[in-house]
Amino acid sequence: MQSACILRVGGSDADFHTLETVLRGAGYTELVRASTPAALELINNRKVDVLVLDLMMTSNDVFALLKAAQPHAGKTSRVPVIVTAPTTANDRIQACLQRGAEDYVATPFDPANALIVTRRIELCLHRKHLREFTVRLRAAKPDANETALIELYSNASSKFVPREFLQHLGRETIADVRLGDQVARDMTVFFSDIRDFTTMSESMTPQENFAFLNSYLKQATPIIRQNHGFIDKYIGDAIMALFPKEPSDALRAAVDLQKTLVTYNQGRKKAGYAPIRIGIGLHRGELILGTIGEEERMQTTVISDAVNLASRIEGLTKVFGVSLLVSKSVVDKLPSGHGFHLRHLGAVKAKGKTRSVEIYECFDNDPIELREHKLNSMELFSNGVSEFRKGLFLSAQRSFKRVAALDANDNVAAHFRDSCTLSVMNKPSAEWDAAEILEVK
């Protein structure tokens, strides 16, 4: 038998009898039906575990019950509310979910699909117990065992869902997260990827692959945290991180990771392994952070074109032969005197995309000679970019050819030199919009 008091307010007699049959079949023995005044008294005294509230009552009654169920002065606990209504009452359902209702079930109840009701009640009770457990632990003066339990609970959840993600959703713990939670935020997206990882992985056993990835990620992840970012997800060998504060945090993390990689590769060389190379792309824009899935299996995710752009920009590092590219949306928000070494590469457009994006190379970690070359040839390179964007490919070719001749390791100058050559030969259409179209996924 299930020990929980479930309160039903409103709805038809037929629905109540169906609900009673379904819940008793699942082992719930305490189902109470009450009027609004009686229900308010039960809720205010916190003698209810779940409120199943029908929305076909008056709005005043519905909103009064929703308000009573929420935490407020003198009542820190919450009574979870499942609202019920025909599927045609979409506006009322949305309004109640925005006011704190945890879930929704369509009426009339279908006894042939009892799990739709019982599983939602189970999940509500589970979240309620987790919240109450967390509050009790925080309020108590824990002994050594309880302290260990608190740490275990907090650390276990944060290993899979970052605390920062929950904070942006306005949720204190993972127990508070609900399907459909979402919030818009302006953030910098960080994408990194190991070069030629597929080829590397083919020469390793599955165990060696996991050991290598974890060894690398142990170096990279702390750098992101130290610069006020957090990992959104690992995608095989790739890292997607978010930086909610300053764009300079993300750029500093990228530069620091490149420096750490030098030391990491020295260790790999001593152990007889080949060094690794990474590409990093940064872009800033509005993101939607939220939860997707269904009640029994959901996950946090980020949905935004800014994410796709950051991934595309990372992919462009392979095209230009550099390790770190940054969009104009990041560079424009860097503080004056930021100290990063940046070179404007003009506008590019991924194949299939209608919008172009302005990108910059950050060359802080280039070898000293190459870094000095890029600084000394900055004006000549900028002239080449300007001419290239105007479609003056012959004069642009001369500029890039001179820059590339000064240092054979300047891959970007060589790329533009060759692009100009192809453009002269193929004569681009009159629709040239100053953005180079590049093949990149």
Statement to judge: residues 234 and 166 lie in one domain? no
Statement to judge: residues 154 and 249 lie in one domain? no
Statement to judge: residues 192 and 106 lie in one domain? no
Residue 441 located in a structural domain? no
Statement to judge: residues 109 and 56 lie in one domain? yes
Tally of structural domains, the chain: 4
Statement to judge: residues 70 and 151 lie in one domain? no
Domain that holds residue 246: 178-365
Domain stops at, among 303, 334, 365: 365
Q: Helix or strand or coil: residue 189?
A: strand
For 60-66, which contacts have Cβ atoms below 8 Å and span 24 or more sequence positions?
61/10, 61/36, 62/92, 62/96, 63/99, 64/36, 64/40, 65/9, 65/36, 65/39, 65/40, 66/96, 66/99, 66/100, 66/101
Statement to judge: residues 160 and 86 lie in one domain? no
Statement to judge: residues 333 and 405 lie in one domain? no
Q: Are 118 and 23 in contact (CB under 8 A)?
A: yes
Instruction: Kindly report, residue by residue over 143-166, the tens digit of the pLDDT.
Output: 555 555 445 544 554 555 566 655
Q: Helix or strand or coil: residue 94?
A: helix
Quick one: pLDDT at residue 235? 83
Statement to judge: residues 220 and 150 lie in one domain? no
Statement to judge: residues 216 and 196 lie in one domain? yes
Quick one: pLDDT at residue 74? 58
Domain stops at, among 365, 391, 425: 365
What is the token pair recorded at 366?
């280039």
Q: Which CATH number is 284's domain given?
A: 3.30.70.1230
Instruction: Kindly report, residue by residue over 179-195, the tens digit of the pLDDT.
Output: 556 667 788 999 999 98
Q: What share of the chain is helix, strand, coil (3-state, %, to 5)?
A: 50, 25, 25
Residue 371 located in a structural domain? no
User: Pseudo-torsion of CA 113, 95, 9, 177, nearest 10°?
Assistant: 60
Residue 249 located in a structural domain? yes
Domain stops at, among 120, 139, 158: 139
Residue 351 located in a structural domain? yes
Residue 335 located in a structural domain? yes
Give the separation between CA 252 and CA 266, rounded to whole angstroms. 22
Low-confidence residues of the chain, pLDDT below 70?
A: 1-2, 72-76, 133-183, 289-301, 350-354, 427-435, 437-441
Statement to judge: residues 266 and 282 lie in one domain? yes
Give the separation between CA 353 and CA 349, rounded to whole angstroms. 6
Quick one: pLDDT at residue 89? 87
Residue 272 located in a structural domain? yes
Q: Are 284 and 327 in contact (CB under 8 A)?
A: yes
Statement to judge: residues 273 and 150 lie in one domain? no
Residue 10 located in a structural domain? yes
Statement to judge: residues 336 and 196 lie in one domain? yes
What is the token pair recorded at 237?
């060998």
Residue 414 located in a structural domain? yes
